[in-house]
């Protein structure tokens, strides 16, 4: 594989330690702790996140949602979740000021990922630069609505490509998520984000509130590995 084209990795959102074990066993690269019953960025209790991190025990990267941006104390939420031990901590950026973003990043130095909702997304060039300046380590696009409208239904491939490129230019990790389906993998992996994030698309019946489906995770892993073999020449 070309040195300048790192592999696209699979993020799987889990709600408990049992799902974390399944995601790890089936090849997920990043195990993301999130409560599917509480919307796009529902935070799990810190005790549950701690159990997930302990279950993974360093065998994969971990992340956890610290909040959906609806609260006023971003830094407090980040600091509380950081104590549970995930490698990365995700928060919705929303309309937070640059000062609030910098305060949140300082609460978990080198560990914060900013999430923007596709329905609100604009100014591709501006967002990654703002997050990088505030001290964030990465940026991710997700969808707020989880009723069948996927990321590619909201934003064009050109916009997503520009977002990934802007993250790369500012040194941020990039992620694309939002009711993704297995069929979305080829087009989105071709944009070379660092991660593609899944929940519902890997659950039984495609329902994010149901449990993870081992066969679907294996299919996603295989779909992401195929481009790697093709690039290896």
Given the residues 10, 13, 23, 34, select the one marked as catalytic: 34
Segment 24-55, tens digit of pLDDT: 999 999 999 999 998 888 999 999 999 999 99
Helix (H) or strand (E) holding 191: none
Query: Strand 9-14 vs strand 138-142: parallel, antiparallel, or unpaired?
Result: unpaired
| Annotated catalytic residue 34 | yes
Q: Name the pTM for this structure.
A: 0.91
Given the residues 90, 199, 208, 216, select the one marked as catalytic: 90
The CATH homologous superfamily of the domain defined by 9-231 = Copper homeostasis (CutC) domain (3.20.20.380)
| Annotated catalytic residue 146 | no
- CB-based burial label for 49 (10 Å; 0-12, 13-18, 19+): buried
157-177 average pLDDT score:
96
Domain ranges of the chain: 9-231
154-167 average pLDDT score:
94
pLDDT grade, residue 192 (50/70/90)?
Answer: very high
The mean predicted confidence, pLDDT, of the chain is: 90
Handedness of CA 38, 40, 46, 52 (dihedral sign): positive
CA distance 164 to 187: 13
Segment 50-105, tens digit of pLDDT: 999 999 999 999 999 997 766 668 899 999 999 999 999 999 988 889 999 999 99
Are 181 and 150 in contact by the 8 Å Cβ rule? The answer is yes
CA distance 118 to 49: 26
Per-residue confidence (pLDDT) for residue 5, from 0 to 100: 59
């Amino acid at each position: 594989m070309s040195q300048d084209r790192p592999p696209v990795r699979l993020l799987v959102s889990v709600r408990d330690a049992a799902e974390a074990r399944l995601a790890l066993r089936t090849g997920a690269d990043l195990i993301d702790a999130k409560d599917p019953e509480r919307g796009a960025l529902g935070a799990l209790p810190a005790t549950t996140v701690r159990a997930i991190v302990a279950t993974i025990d360093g065998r994969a990267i971990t992340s956890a949602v610290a909040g959906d941006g609806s609260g006023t104390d971003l830094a407090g939420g980040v600091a509380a979740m950081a104590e549970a031990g995930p490698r990365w901590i995700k928060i919705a950026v929303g309309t937070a000021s640059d000062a609030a973003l910098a305060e949140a990043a300082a609460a978990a130095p080198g560990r914060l990922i900013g999430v923007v909702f596709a329905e609100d997304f604009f100014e591709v060039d501006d967002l990654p630069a703002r997050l990088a300046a505030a001290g964030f380590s990465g940026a991710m696009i997700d969808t707020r609505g989880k009723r069948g409208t996927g990321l590619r239904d909201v934003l064009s491939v050109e916009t997503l490509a520009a977002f990934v490129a802007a993250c790369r230019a500012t040194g941020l990790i990039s992620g694309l998520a939002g009711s993704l389906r297995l069929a979305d993998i080829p087009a989105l992996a071709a944009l070379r984000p660092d991660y593609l994030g899944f929940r519902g698309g890997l659950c039984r019946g495609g329902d994010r509130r149901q449990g993870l489906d081992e066969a679907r995770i294996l299919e996603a892993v295989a779909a992401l590995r195929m481009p790697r073999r093709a690039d290896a020449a």
